[in-house]
Chains A and B, each alone.
Chain A
Amino acid sequence: MKLEAVNQSSFFEEEKQKFPSEKPYELFMGSDPKDMISEEKIRSYLEDAESDSDYESTSTKQAMGISGNFLEEIKENPVAIITKQPSIPDTFISLQKWEGTVLSVKKDYFEARLVDFTGNGPDEIAEFSINEVSADDLELLHLGAVFYWNIGYHNIKGGQRLRSSIIRFRRLPAWTHTEIQRSEQEAEELMKSIKTE
């Protein structure tokens, strides 16, 4: 199957005039240019479809709002307007959330104190494997670092639901010269104002 056949359609020429875009060949889902699917994506879908016998039942197809006989239709008619299906945006339903403070970091795990952000439970101490920390957050893993641990359901587009444990370190701003200077000044004032024997 050649994607070029789609691109040659006069339909696209007309649509291009209505919605000028830097990317000339794109397929619309609905009428909003924001819903455009890139050429690269379409190509990957079609290539996947040829190699994947289970394509008809994949959730990805549902997520994109592609109708069941899409492949047959596109073979007959190189121009396809895909009606956008109402899709559920990605959402996260939190069942339990903690705020953690890193107390110690060992070779392959770290220990943290957890404060319950969901209920009124007591503080807890937990040991996490370093592998639980994403590569992006690893640089933030230091003594005293603050993170959130969230357990819940992740609803993704297409209706799938995943049970998730998400550890995300807070990217707190760095100390500034002004902050430190202001605190030094305040400290000096507090020292002067405290009356001692």
Chain B
Amino acid sequence: MERAPLDSEVEVSIFGPGYGESLLLHLGNNDWVIVDSCIDSKNKVPAPLNYLHSIDIDPASSVKLIVATHWHDDHIRGLSSIVEECTSADFAFSSALRSEEFFTLISLYGRGSMMKSSGVDEFYKIIKLLNERDKVVKLASENKCLMRVGSREIHALSPSDYSVLSATIQLANLLPEVKIPKRRVLSQKPNHVSVVLQVIIENLCILLGADLEEIGDRRAGWTNIINSQTRIQKKACVFKIPHHGSKSAHLESIWSEMVYPNPISLLTPFTLGKQLPTRKDIRRICSKTDRAYITAKPQWGKRIRRSHTVEKTIRETVRNIKAENQEVGQIRIRLDHSEIGGEWTVKMTDNALNLASLNS
């Protein structure tokens, strides 16, 4: 069995199959934070819970904060199970989702069994659980502190006020009208809701980019964060690359103003519809750092074996069919904070890899 980190060790784990993303942080002294959730296909348990159990950490007492960066399916699958198990944890979600529009949406779709697999029913379960627990919920918004324990702090850097307003309009457009047939809710673009986090542990800074994209408006997206006069002006040595490394989430000034040169960079792939990161994205990221790691190859899952008859009919019917990559990869980095000049150690599961190995 793997050993749990020491009290003096900071640890960041990123989990990701072909579709999904979750982060687990050890801030030290057995204080853990979970950001988003993805499911391990082997036992259908959220990947961060699997890992905590494997190193003999009790999530109920050790997880202090759970953050839902947004409501999209690839970031929220299994999050209600995490909330259920981590009974002492605070829960934080985007302030852009505390609107009548979003709550009506989750109420409409969360109750119907036909709506399974969309992020809204997961959110509905979470809100119900939190209500039963009578816990205070933290709303994440631009430059708001979500957690402070001694010299360890977690700040939200988004959404901005403008993004909250944009998200409300976007969510209102998702609300169904009377006499319109029922259909599933699909995630909308751009993502105005996403919560970027800045984790500060004494002199260390970690930047978690969630799925925030750049929309070319100074009131929102990455430009708003870069230009913010009130955010803590600290450069990060670890960077969770936003939105699966896509071009839409790239801004040159993030690399020059918010992270140190050659930062440890972590990302997950996305293989639903299109594949991210693309070759160009990989090349761009690798030009910024040679310490970028990805939880799995940005490619489809293994071909599913089916009977000849079924295969033949599939080929005759569809133009294209691809299976999701469900094997969860994990990249874990650790640093002993008590050691002067200590270096991060990187450990990966078999399917995770250094991004540079794909840059050929």
Asked whether, in the complex, the Cβ of B183 is within 8 Å of the Cβ of A126, the reply is: no
Report B171-202 CB contacts with A as 1/0, cut-off 8 Å.
Answer: 00001111111111110000000000000000
- The answer, yes or no, to whether A103 is at the interface (CB within 8 Å) is yes
Asked whether, in the complex, the Cβ of B178 is within 8 Å of the Cβ of A177, the reply is: yes
Q: Which residues of A contact B135 (CB under 8 A)?
A: 195
Residue of B nearest to A124 (CB): B323
Q: Which residues of A contact B103 (CB under 8 A)?
A: 186-188, 190-191
Asked whether, in the complex, the Cβ of A174 is within 8 Å of the Cβ of B137, the reply is: no
- The answer, yes or no, to whether B321 is at the interface (CB within 8 Å) is yes
- State which of A103, A174, A177, A182 has its C-beta within 8 Å of the C-beta of B182: A174
Report B122-157 CB contacts with A as 1/0, cut-off 8 Å.
Answer: 000001001100111111000000000000000000
The stretch that binds A, out of B21-29, B57-65, B300-308, B338-346, is: B300-308
Interface residues of A in 94-141 (CB under 8 A from B): 95-96, 101, 103-104, 109, 111, 113-115, 121-129, 132, 140
- The answer, yes or no, to whether B318 is at the interface (CB within 8 Å) is yes
Interface residues of A in 166-197 (CB under 8 A from B): 167, 170-177, 179-180, 182-184, 186-188, 190-191, 193-197
The stretch that binds B, out of A18-26, A67-75, A144-152, is: A144-152
- The answer, yes or no, to whether A41 is at the interface (CB within 8 Å) is no
Asked whether, in the complex, the Cβ of B318 is within 8 Å of the Cβ of A127, the reply is: yes
Asked whether, in the complex, the Cβ of A194 is within 8 Å of the Cβ of B321, the reply is: no
Q: Which residues of B contact A126 (CB under 8 A)?
A: 318-322
CA A165 to CA B105, docked complex, whole Å: 34
Task: Give me the interface of B with A, judged by CB distance under 8 Å.
Answer: 19, 41, 98, 100, 103-104, 106-108, 114, 117, 127, 130-131, 134-139, 175-186, 272-273, 301, 304, 306-307, 309-310, 312-314, 316-326
Known interface pairs A122-B326, A126-B322, A190-B127; 16 further A-B residue pairs with C-beta atoms within 8 A, sorted by A's residue number:
A126-B321, A127-B319, A128-B318, A129-B319, A143-B183, A145-B181, A145-B183, A151-B314, A174-B181, A180-B178, A187-B103, A188-B103, A190-B103, A190-B131, A196-B136, A196-B138
Q: Which residues of B contact A165 (CB under 8 A)?
A: 313, 316-317
Q: Which residues of B contact A187 (CB under 8 A)?
A: 100, 103-104, 106-107
CA A125 to CA B321, docked complex, whole Å: 6
Q: Which residues of A contact B310 (CB under 8 A)?
A: 95-96, 151
- The answer, yes or no, to whether A163 is at the interface (CB within 8 Å) is yes
Report how many residues on chain A are interfacial, defined by Cβ distance under 8 Å: 55
Residue of A nearest to B134 (CB): A195
- State which of B100, B127, B131 has its C-beta within 8 Å of the C-beta of A188: B100
CA A184 to CA B342, docked complex, whole Å: 54
Q: Which residues of A contact B306 (CB under 8 A)?
A: 96
CA A123 to CA B272, docked complex, whole Å: 10
- The answer, yes or no, to whether A142 is at the interface (CB within 8 Å) is yes
- State which of A103, A124, A125 has its C-beta within 8 Å of the C-beta of B304: A124
CA A188 to CA B107, docked complex, whole Å: 10
Asked whether, in the complex, the Cβ of B186 is within 8 Å of the Cβ of A144, the reply is: yes
Q: Which residues of B contact A173 (CB under 8 A)?
A: 181-182
Interface centre among A122, A190, A194 (most CB of B within 10 A): A122
Residue of A nearest to B127 (CB): A190
Q: Which residues of A contact B318 (CB under 8 A)?
A: 126-128, 132
Asked whether, in the complex, the Cβ of A144 is within 8 Å of the Cβ of B178, the reply is: no
- State which of A132, A163, A174, A184 has its C-beta within 8 Å of the C-beta of B104: A184
Asked whether, in the complex, the Cβ of A194 is within 8 Å of the Cβ of B309, the reply is: no
CB distance from B359 to the nearest CB of A (A): 26
CB distance from A128 to the nearest CB of B (A): 6
Instruction: List 28 contacting pairs A-B, 8 Å CB cutoff, sorted by A.
Output: A109-B319, A111-B273, A114-B321, A121-B304, A124-B323, A126-B320, A126-B321, A132-B318, A151-B310, A151-B313, A163-B309, A164-B313, A172-B182, A174-B181, A175-B178, A175-B182, A176-B178, A177-B178, A183-B107, A184-B100, A186-B107, A187-B106, A187-B107, A194-B98, A194-B127, A194-B137, A195-B134, A195-B136
